[in-house]
Amino acid sequence: MNSLTKIFTLVSGLLFLVSSLSFSADPLPLSTSYWKDEAFLKSFNGSYRIEARIEPNVSTEERGILVEIQNLMAEDKRTAALEKLKSSELTKSSPALTFNLANLYFETGDIKNAITSYQSALKEYPSFRRAHRNLALAYVRENDLKNALTHLTESIQLGDAEGSTYGLLGYCRLSREEFDSALQAYRLAQVTEPDVAEWKAGIAQCLQHLDQNTEAIALLEEVIRQRPLESSYSILKANIHLELDQLDDAVKALELPFRLKLLPPDPTLLLADLHLRANRKTSAQTTIEAAFSNKTSPPSTSAILRVINTASSQEDWKLVKSLFEQTQSEKSDRALGIAKARYLIASNEDIAAGVAALRKLTQEDPTDGQALLALAKHLAETKQPESAELMFERATADPTTAYEAFVELARLHVSQSHYAEALAAIDKALALNPTESLRTYRQALQKTLAAAE
């Protein structure tokens, strides 16, 4: 193997490793436990109290109804309290009563009517701080974080300093990938609510995105001890370990929720993939079976493809075939179709069928870079350079495959001793992703070109 081939093999290996280990780290949704948390309930129930500086004035009649409502609630008769407010003529013109009606809608799970009532209260009294805050809570429950952010900000400008307000502000900022702002908000939330797991986890996510992974892991360990039965925190911790190339620690993070049967299908397949990489075939098979055991919630295509890619790299064709058989009744899409065609070719099970499948896929969508790339590689390997070059060129037009297509195109040119063309392709790949390994390859290629001239 010459020096150019060795370096190119390293580049190709890195391409595979990055694509197969990627695992989404979207902002964690608020746990259902949060809405039952003592800190949230204390804050929300406190919103029934009147604060004269930032409240609409309450008449004697309105105060009388509020007292009746409080008595009904003290007896845990929220439905009766709700009906009383709905039936009162005073409610229609009173922002204070409308606000309390909204609170009762919120508590009984009627979030849409709660939003409408909070909006009505604010229309009558725009500086009603508690209405802004509770309207934001309702928007969060509906996952309308844009509107939630507007009213959380308004509430804080009106003097709100509740931990839950700042915590939800952090949650909204995190969803917008405003990590510094989210981190500040979460830390302000911790001043008055230091033990709320959601705020700790939010800080950990911000730290992860700000490249402070060690601190993030330490904080998540606290959260996991606090909430051992919520797998999302362990999954986030595992994801951070993967970013740090700490594969064994990622396995440990996922093993506990897996053994407790709390791990969803996709992270279960991630665990299987990690076992495969460590050559723990039996453990991998066990986790794969567990991932597919839930017929109502099968694994996603991306999770399945991750394991297929790893098994294919190990030429474990028996496992790859088993994965396709388990997936066949659950999924049918282009990504799996391309992977199946690659398997048929690489395993020599049915090369003709694999090539035919790829040609059909490229005809159905001439812009699909993945299908073009797979077909081009086969053409290059079977000594059809002109056809392969055409397919690689077409694959460079797809942003998802452009980098790899340029690298493969360079490899094809090198195999034909077309070093100037190979150098041009490498320069285009470097413009997309300037990795150190590719720079090293370019230097070796430049020397080869100079020697050939």
pLDDT (tens digit, 9 = 90+) per residue, 127-173?
999 999 999 999 999 999 999 999 999 999 999 999 999 999 999 99
pTM: 0.75
The residues near 216 (Cβ < 8 Å, ≥ 6 apart) are: 203, 204, 205, 207, 208, 240
Measured distance between the N- and C-terminal CA atoms of the chain, rounded to whole angstroms: 22
pLDDT at residue number 11: 41
pLDDT at residue number 190: 95
Contact 14, 437 (CB under 8 A): yes
Secondary structure tally for the chain: helices H, strands E = 25, 0
Query: Can you tell me the distance from the alpha carbon of 441 to that of 453, in angstroms, rounded to the nearest whole number?
Result: 19
**Lookup: tokens for 188:** 């302000």
Report CA 68 to chain centroid distance, whole Å. 47
pLDDT at residue number 347: 95
**Lookup: tokens for 219:** 């904080």
Query: Can you tell me the distance from the alpha carbon of 404 to that of 12, in angstroms, rounded to the nearest whole number?
Result: 8
Please give the single-letter amino acid code of residue 273: D
Query: Can you tell me the distance from the alpha carbon of 80 to that of 87, in angstroms, rounded to the nearest whole number?
Result: 11
Give the position of tokens 């009649």.
Answer: 61
Sign of CA dihedral 350, 354, 359, 363: positive
pLDDT at residue number 5: 45
Query: Can you tell me the distance from the alpha carbon of 123 to that of 76, in angstroms, rounded to the nearest whole number?
Result: 30
pLDDT at residue number 47: 52
In angstroms, what is the C-alpha Rg of the chain? 29
Instruction: For residue 347, give Cα distances in angstroms to 12, 48, 98, 266, 311.
Output: 19, 68, 68, 26, 12
Residues of the chain with pLDDT under 50: 1, 3-25, 48, 50, 52, 330
Q: 427, 391, 390, 387: which is closest to 407 by C-alpha? A: 427
pLDDT at residue number 33: 60
Query: Can you tell me the distance from the alpha carbon of 445 to that of 453, in angstroms, rounded to the nearest whole number?
Result: 13
Q: 376, 398, 401: which is closest to 389 by C-alpha? A: 376
Give the position of tokens 């990627």.
Answer: 22
Q: According to DSSP H, which parts of 125-212 are helical?
A: 129-141, 145-157, 163-175, 179-192, 197-209
pLDDT at residue number 1: 46
Q: 275, 263, 274, 334: which is closest to 299 by C-alpha? A: 263
Please give the single-letter amino acid code of residue 53: R
pLDDT at residue number 44: 53
- Give the DSSP letter of residue 83: H
Average pLDDT, the chain: 87
Please give the single-letter amino acid code of residue 86: K
**Lookup: tokens for 210:** 């700000």
pLDDT at residue number 7: 42
Query: Can you tell me the distance from the alpha carbon of 105 to that of 114, in angstroms, rounded to the nearest whole number?
Result: 5
pLDDT at residue number 76: 85
Q: What is the pLDDT of residues 305-334, one digit of tens each?
A: 999 999 999 999 999 999 998 886 545 688
